[in-house]
Amino acid sequence: MAKVLVVDDEPNIVLSLEFLMQQAGFEVVTAEDGESALTRVAEAPPDLVLLDISLPGISGFDVLERLRANPTLTRLPIIMLTAHGREVEREKGLALGADDYITKPFSTQALVDKVKTLLDESAA
Partner 1 sequence: MSPPVGPPRRQHLIGAWLLLSGLSLFGGAFLALWLESRLAPAGAERIALWGGCLVGAGLLFLLGLLLERRLFAPLRHLQVQIARMVASPDARDDYRPEGWLSGLGPDLLRLREHWRQDRSQLAGAHAAGARGAARIRQELEALLQVLDTPLLLCDRHRRLLLFNQAAEALFSEHPGFGLGKRLEGLFDLASLSEALDRLPADGTSRELLVPLKDRWLHGCLRRVPNSDHETLITLTDSTAAWHCEMDTRVRLTECLTAVRRHGAGLSSAAEALGHLHSSTHATNRATNRATGHKHDQETQLPAAPSIPSHEALPAASLGSREAPLSSRLADIIDEESQGLGQAIDQLGKSLEALQRQGERLAPLWSNDLWQALNDHLAGSSLVLTPIGMPAWFKADAPALLVMLEALTSRLGELAEVRHLDAEVCLGNRRVYLDLIWLGTPMTQHQLAGWKALRLDALPLSPRIEDLLHQHDSDLWSLQDPDGRHARLRCPLPAVERVGAPLTRPSPRPEFHDFGIADLPPPEAELAACPLAQLEVVAFDTETTGLALRQDDRVISIGACRIVNGRLLADDTFDVRVDPGRPIPPASTAIHGLTDSDVLGAPPLSQALPRFRDYLGDAVILAHNAAFDLLALQSPGAEVALNMPVLDTLLLSRALDPSLDGHDLDSLADRYALSFAEGTRHTALGDARVTAELWLAMRTRLEARGVQTLADALALQSSAFDHQDASA
Q: Considering only residues 24 through 53, tell me which ones interact with partner 1, judged by CB under 8 A.
A: none
Give yes or no for residue 22 binding partner 1 (CB under 8 A): yes
Least distance to partner 1, CB of residue 119, Å: 19
**Per-residue mark of binding to partner 1, 52-91 (x: CB under 8 A):** --x---xx-xx-xx-----------------xxxxxxx-x
C-alpha 72, offset from chain centre: 17
Identity of the amino acid at 49: V
Q: Considering only residues 91 through 110, tell me which ones interact with partner 1, judged by CB under 8 A.
A: 91-92, 95-96, 103-109
Strand partners, 102: 81
What does the binding site for partner 1 look like in residue numbers (CB under 8 A)?
Answer: 10, 12-13, 15-20, 22-23, 54, 58-59, 61-62, 64-65, 83-89, 91-92, 95-96, 103-109
